[in-house]
Amino acid sequence: MVSPTQGNLGAILRSCEGAGVDAVILPRHRAVHITPSAAKAAAGAIEYLTLCVVPGLPTAIQQLRDANVWVVGLDDAADKPLFGLGDLAREHVCLVLGAEGPGLSRLVRERCDLVVSIPMSGALSSLNVSAAAALATYEVVRARTV
């Protein structure tokens, strides 16, 4: 689930397709949707992904949890590192990314089963949302193959 800019959305879709993600969920309101710019940045990935537009993320998250999908939020303020998912990554997982700047909303954060961060060793505290999405999706892929 993402709330990026058009260029970021396209980059996220490319990473998701490359990582073998089953579907991408986008909120209907206050989010970027597929536009010509996003489609161009996706470089064809939208042809291979299932895209779901939902009325609201909190309800969609609850429905995923009810369907035994682990919901993992990414937030740079989280105490637990992304790299500690371990066996959880082998389960059905939905990664939730917040908007750049504000991050996850309070309600979305509360609905997640787990909130993790990407450990940062440099002077900056966070990554661009498309870079974070790529790193997180491929971390799930990596954890499933070890």
Is there a domain that residue 141 lies in? yes
Domain span including residue 50: 6-145
Which SS3 state, helix, strand or coil, does residue 112 take?
coil
Total number of domains in the chain: 1
* DSSP code of residue 53: E
* DSSP code of residue 115: E
Tell me the backbone φ, ψ of residue 28, rounded to 5 degrees: -65, -40
Is there a domain that residue 41 lies in? yes
Is there a domain that residue 1 lies in? no
Pairing assessment for the beta strands 70-74 and 93-97 based on DSSP bridges: parallel
User: Do the Cβ atoms of 92 and 69 come closer than 8 Å?
Assistant: yes
Is there a domain that residue 110 lies in? yes
Distance CA 146, CA 142 (A): 7
CATH number at residue 78: 3.40.1280.10
In tens digits, what is the pLDDT along the chain, a chain of 146 residues? 444 577 788 999 999 999 999 999 998 876 777 778 888 888 889 999 999 999 999 999 999 999 999 999 999 888 899 998 989 999 999 999 987 777 888 999 999 999 999 998 998 877 888 999 999 999 999 999 87
